[in-house]
Homo-oligomer: A and B are copies of this chain.
């Protein structure tokens, strides 16, 4: 059963503790990466046979395969995917930044350009963790950013095919090229490039422990989105919340995995007890009851706080991936929320709405990293370049200042490079 803690009456570390996952796959993964770096496609074909039980003659998914996937897919689902894609596009288009230029002093121009990365790679897991929603969430911002070469990698099934729903989502999202390769070897291929797979500048997308470790190991050589921890929800609720809704929302994260964490912070002891009961009633109805049970028992908690302000302070300190604000006037509190990946305002906004349809991204900072990290966005697929232009006259006015500054730092070649232009 989910535990109830009274804030102020238990140690703070019990309030703020969170689960973390430790794995021990560094060695295996670095070996895989080294092999792909050295042997390219040859290594990939071997891993494909070994890990995915698929004997492939090429990695690329053909245009026919994609067309068939779209045709064979459930039409109703395709329509919902398209609706979701439209909302995601609408939200992320607002993130597009423009370059700037400053030219208000005689003979001086400075500016900043926004430039998309040349190639981005999107990892999509196979099996039951193959989420078409994540394909949309990770691919659409890249296309809006202007990435010309957006590549998806995903493990093949033993018959050499790819889950058609994933192909359909990739098609809707506008992915340029799809390759049947998964696991740490797929990350290695994107980081170093092989005969078939292009070298990516940015790698995004979730995966198992091997994929996560591989992303960690290639970080620096390429950019990565994040190394995601277990999924999290924190609900702040006053006495007006319907305990059934709160319980359902907590369970929607708890069902993700056994290490997921579902936390309710409420000002009402009555709500705390009602939600505790309601969770017990709802768990048995779930397909993934066993996972939800483990998550709730191990990492779930209900914290009773004196007032909403205290509840929000606790939320800020935890900095959850998903934050629901289940109160009557949620916009009254929006400015108080400083650290959270995605906020769901009010009592009609279950977190699942954001996972699929509302438009904001669902690839979010976990493990408290919302204190310094952001949801996946168009920004992840662009970078900035600055530029500076001075005319000879403009340089003349500042060259001796530059030289003086450089001399103070002991850098005489820096000084020389400014004044040599006046001397000659």
Decide: B94 and A112 in contact? CB cutoff 8 A. Answer: yes
List chain B residues, Cβ under 8 A from A131.
409
List chain B residues, Cβ under 8 A from A399.
353
Decide: B416 and A251 in contact? CB cutoff 8 A. Answer: yes
Least Cβ–Cβ distance between A335 and chain B, in angstroms: 9
List chain B residues, Cβ under 8 A from A50.
none
Q: A383-B374, A398-B357, A417-B252 are in contact. Are A410 and B287 (CB under 8 A)?
A: yes
A361 at the binding interface (Cβ < 8 Å):
yes
List chain B residues, Cβ under 8 A from A252.
411, 413-414, 416-417
Contact flags A389-419 to B (C-beta < 8 A → 1, else 0): 1111011001101101110111111111110
Give the number of times this chain occurs in the complex, counting copies.
2
A52 at the binding interface (Cβ < 8 Å):
no
Decide: A248 and B416 in contact? CB cutoff 8 A. Answer: yes
List chain B residues, Cβ under 8 A from A348.
390-392, 394-395, 421
Closest to A361 in B: B386
A230 at the binding interface (Cβ < 8 Å):
no
Among the stretches A10-18, A33-41, A220-228, A297-305, the one at the interface with B is A220-228
Decide: B390 and A117 in contact? CB cutoff 8 A. Answer: no
Decide: A408 and B132 in contact? CB cutoff 8 A. Answer: yes
List chain B residues, Cβ under 8 A from A383.
365, 370-374
Least Cβ–Cβ distance between A158 and chain B, in angstroms: 20
Which of B80, B90, B109, B361 has a CB less than 8 Å from the CB of A405?
Answer: B80
A269 at the binding interface (Cβ < 8 Å):
no
List chain B residues, Cβ under 8 A from A343.
385-388
Decide: A346 and B390 in contact? CB cutoff 8 A. Answer: yes
List chain B residues, Cβ under 8 A from A223.
369, 372-373
Least Cβ–Cβ distance between A346 and chain B, in angstroms: 6
Which of B90, B117, B346, B392 has a CB less than 8 Å from the CB of A372?
Answer: B117
Contact flags A322-364 to B (C-beta < 8 A → 1, else 0): 0000000011001001111111111011111111111111000
List chain B residues, Cβ under 8 A from A94.
100, 102, 112
Decide: A248 and B413 in contact? CB cutoff 8 A. Answer: yes
Q: Give the CA-CA distance A394 to B331 in the complex, in Å.
A: 17
Decide: B133 and A405 in contact? CB cutoff 8 A. Answer: yes
Decide: A374 and B384 in contact? CB cutoff 8 A. Answer: yes
Which of B115, B334, B373 has a CB less than 8 Å from the CB of A387?
Answer: B334
Q: A245-B420, A417-B249 are in contact. Are A91 and B102 (CB under 8 A)?
A: yes
Q: Which residues of A contact B (CB under 8 A)?
A: 74, 76-77, 80-81, 83-84, 90-91, 94-95, 97, 100, 102, 108-110, 112-113, 115, 117-118, 128, 131-133, 165, 201-202, 220, 222-223, 227, 242, 244-245, 248-249, 251-252, 254-256, 282, 285-288, 292, 330-331, 334, 337-346, 348-361, 365, 369-375, 377, 379, 383-392, 394-395, 398-399, 401-402, 404-406, 408-418, 420-421, 424
Besides A255-B412, A357-B398, 13 other A-B contacts (C-beta < 8 A): A90-B102, A110-B359, A223-B373, A251-B416, A252-B413, A288-B411, A342-B386, A349-B388, A351-B417, A353-B402, A357-B402, A360-B386, A373-B383
Offer 29 A-B interface pairs, CB within 8 angstroms, sorted by A.
A81-B405, A90-B102, A91-B110, A115-B339, A165-B408, A201-B371, A223-B369, A244-B424, A248-B416, A248-B417, A252-B417, A255-B411, A255-B414, A286-B412, A288-B411, A334-B387, A338-B385, A340-B385, A342-B385, A342-B387, A344-B387, A345-B387, A349-B390, A352-B411, A353-B398, A353-B399, A354-B386, A371-B383, A374-B385
